[in-house]
Amino acid sequence: MEVNWAQVLFNSAITGSLYLIGAVGITLTYGLSNFPNFAHAELITLGAFIGYLVAEQLGLGLPLAVVAAFLITGAAGFLCYRGIFQPLAKRGATIIHLMVASIALGFILRYSMGAAWTWEPLYFSNVWPVSSLWSHHDIGPLRVTGLWLWLIFAAIALSVIMHLVLVKTKIGKAIRATSSNPELALASGINIDRVIWITWFIGAGLAAIAGIFRAADTQIWPMTGWDIILPIFAVVILGGIGNFYGAIAAAFIIGLAENIGVVGLVALGLSTTYRIGIAFLILIVTLIIKPQGLAMLFRRA
Amino acid sequence: MDPLLYVLDLIVYIGIFGIVALSLNLEFGFAGLANFGKVAFFLIGAYSYALLSQIGLPFYLCLIAGALISSVFGLLISLPALRLRADYLAIVVLTFGEILRLIVKSESWLAGGDWGIAVSPAISLMGASHRVNALVNIGLVYLCLVICFLVLQLLANSPYGRVIRAIREDEVAAEALGKDKAKYKAQIFMLGSAMAGIAGGLYAQYLQCILPGMFMPMISFTVWIMVLLGGPANNWGALLGAGLVELFDRGANIAKDYLILPVDPSNLQYILFGVLIILVLFYRPGGLLKESQIKTKALELARYARGTDKNYRS
């Protein structure tokens, strides 16, 4: 069987880009608040539905939908933290209780969305400028769509912007300081509550962007986020919790592993439904062998 | 539907999930292990039962074998768990459950893949009605439940139970007293998984079919709700939680058929589950029932001497 390796690499970049955008929020909030927010899956889904609401149901176009989804989901993420996780942590809830609370919150969000938009899959239809995004173009051996190019562009832009924010700006430095040593950050006059709130807002907003891309590429239903949450956790863990640069590397490693893995599965005559299992396997192996992930290779940020 | 049969069915469900809730209570309540993949061991028990009963083993051997296979997997999963933080353990076990579901879904030669396979009931009486079959199942399920409950009650009040509570509270202190935390955690995982395996086998033979869609992560979270609601580290609490959650589930199903609500009750049910858990975490983190007191002869004697024990007061 002839394998189009250029396409495999390109597909890896697409998968990795999606996972990266979804993972940034989890890895930063995990690093700051010290628990994995399972409700991040539902924030991804919420972004997709808000995007659908604005672009399709209100007919305001995709660009506005992306902005609205970012802001509304960001606000939802902030409210989740401010309303539930922060007060629980102040009452002395353990990490297990916080995880359970995030799953419970996920239930509330997921089934509320199920009630609002039903469980039937929805699709972005061909309204401008979306219609141009799905048509296939063949560039040499590659088959690309505008959507995929946008996705890769978004991931690169995100990486550059986040890097600049984390290194150059005051808030970025505050995020890094709070993540590595909250007490010292507090003593240095950083308002750590505000830093954590802003991080939850940005993280949830980025989840919404990932949700819209995922929804545009496949479908929207209340499980849109849950379908990709475990590979995203694999990215977070492999990259090292709270480590943005590690997450970039991990996203593309897992993208490559999944897409090369599919080629391998076909060659071995196994079902391609195992594709998602590749990320699961990386997740488990990382946790067993080296729970700190790639963090030792990168500066903590 | 026959209302009596509906009630009997509910009782069977409470029994089966009561066993799973007891096993999670052992792991999380007593030993503090965050097993977010309870469904994995439930699945192993169910598929072991189904496959073994196909080759003609009697039902009790199928149940026992399911428990053993499940406990072997429990041991395997506990090996990394010994070194991992609670959050890592939770993610590992959750993912393990999803991998297992993926395998039984993809390997259609094993157990019918997505379509599942039929399972023969444990005890099939010739020409018995549905009601009689449900009653037979109640007998079988509750026999297993009572055995599990008694084992856990004895365990909780034994020196062993005190050691695992000590490990939950302070691993370092327990180790300083010479308790091998790795050994205890592995044993707890094996026992908990074995119980979940038995429940899985009972579930498979009661429904008389199994398919991968029955083993979604939702099952694990439902069991967590039962334990947190009822009261961790209290075996009565786990049973109370299982009863309440199953009743709630049925209530929502009935509401779906008879009430006209603005929100579809099957969605509303899970929204309420979520709200309930968050309320419990906020206002009653210990659950409805408090952690069970440790009962020992020495403590009884001490209470007697102080005259504070009601049972001994003259």
Owning domain of residue A53:
13-226
pLDDT digits (tens, 9 = 90+) for B30-85: 888 888 999 999 999 999 999 998 888 888 888 999 999 999 999 988 887 677 88
Contact B224 A103 (CB under 8 A): yes
* ipTM exceeding the 0.90 mark: no
| Cα A272–Cα A273–Cα A277 angle in degrees, nearest 5 | 105
H or E stretch including B209?
A: strand B209-210
What is the residue-wise DSSP string for A106-168? HHHHHHHHHHHH-SS-B---S-TTTHHHHSEEEETTEEEEHHHHHHHHHHHHHHHHHHHHHHH
Confidence of residue A130 (pLDDT cuts 50, 70, 90): low
| Ranges A264-278, B131-145, B248-262, most confident | B131-145
Q: Nearest CA of chain A to the CA of B179: how many Å?
A: 23
Inter-residue contact A84 to A148 (CB < 8 Å): no
Classify strands A136-139 and B209-210 as parallel, antiparallel or unpaired. Answer: unpaired
Biggest CA–CA distance in chain B, Å, is 69
Report the pLDDT value the prediction gives residue B57, as an integer from 0 to 100: 83
pLDDT mean over B93-105: 89
Domain total of chain A: 1
What's B223-288 look like in SS3? HHHHHHHHCCCCHHHHHHHHHHHHHHHHHHHHHHHHCCCCCCHHHHHHHHHHHHHHHHHHHCCCCC
Q: Give a yes or no: residue A135 inside a domain.
A: yes
Q: Give a yes or no: residue A88 inside a domain.
A: yes
For residue A173, give the nearest of A183, A187, A163 by alpha carbon: A163
Q: Give a yes or no: residue A130 inside a domain.
A: yes
For residue A10, give the nearest of A137, A156, A131, A149 by alpha carbon: A149
pLDDT digits (tens, 9 = 90+) for A144-176: 887 888 889 989 999 999 999 988 998 888 888
pLDDT surpassing 70 at residue A301: no
pLDDT mean over B15-37: 92
Residue whose entry in the numeric block shows the structure tokens 């002395």: A92
Q: Give a yes or no: residue A291 inside a domain.
A: no
pLDDT surpassing 80 at residue A136: no
Determine the Cα–Cα distance for residues A269 and A260; give it in Å rounded to an integer.
14
For residue B45, give the nearest of B221, B213, B215, B242 by alpha carbon: B215
Inter-residue contact B263 to A108 (CB < 8 Å): no
Q: What is the dihedral of CA A181, A184, A186, A192, to 10 degrees?
A: -20
Class of domain B3-312: mainly alpha
Q: Tell me which of A241 and B83 has the higher pLDDT.
A: A241
Q: Which of B39, B92, B95 best probes binding to A when mutated, by most A CB atoms within 10 angstroms?
A: B95
Other CB atoms within 10 Å distance of the CB of residue B49: 31
Classify strands B117-118 and A136-139 as parallel, antiparallel or unpaired. Answer: unpaired
For residue A239, give the nearest of A205, A196, A282 by alpha carbon: A282
Q: Nearest CA of chain A to the CA of B100: how many Å?
A: 10
Q: Tell me which of B69 and B313 has the higher pLDDT.
A: B69
Q: Nearest CA of chain B to the CA of A44: how many Å?
A: 18
Residue B67 Cα to chain centre, angstroms: 13
In chain A, the N- to C-terminal Cα span, in Å, equals 43
Average pLDDT, chain B: 85
AA letter at B110: L
Report the pLDDT value the prediction gives residue B243, as an integer from 0 to 100: 94
pLDDT digits (tens, 9 = 90+) for B236-270: 999 999 999 999 888 877 777 777 766 677 788 88
Other CB atoms within 10 Å distance of the CB of residue A36: 24
Of A260-274, B44-58, B237-251, B286-300, least confident by mean pLDDT is: B286-300
Inter-residue contact A247 to A239 (CB < 8 Å): yes
pLDDT mean over A61-90: 92
Report the pLDDT value the prediction gives residue B312, as an integer from 0 to 100: 46
Inter-residue contact A208 to A24 (CB < 8 Å): no
Q: Nearest CA of chain B to the CA of A159: how many Å?
A: 26
| Cα–Cα distance list, B294 to A278, B159, B231, B264 (Å) | 45, 10, 15, 45
Q: Which of A49, A103, A118, A254 best probes binding to B when mutated, by most B CB atoms within 10 angstroms?
A: A103
Q: Tell me which of B92 and B196 has the higher pLDDT.
A: B196
pLDDT surpassing 80 at residue A63: yes
Determine the Cα–Cα distance for residues B70 and B53; give it in Å rounded to an integer.
16
Residues of B with CB under 8 A from a CB of A: 28, 32, 34, 36, 80, 83-88, 90-92, 94-96, 98-99, 102, 105-107, 221, 224, 228, 263-264, 267-271, 273-278, 281-282, 285
Of B69-78, B118-127, B275-284, least confident by mean pLDDT is: B118-127
pTM of the model: 0.88
Q: Give a yes or no: residue A257 inside a domain.
A: no
Tokens of B263: 């929100």
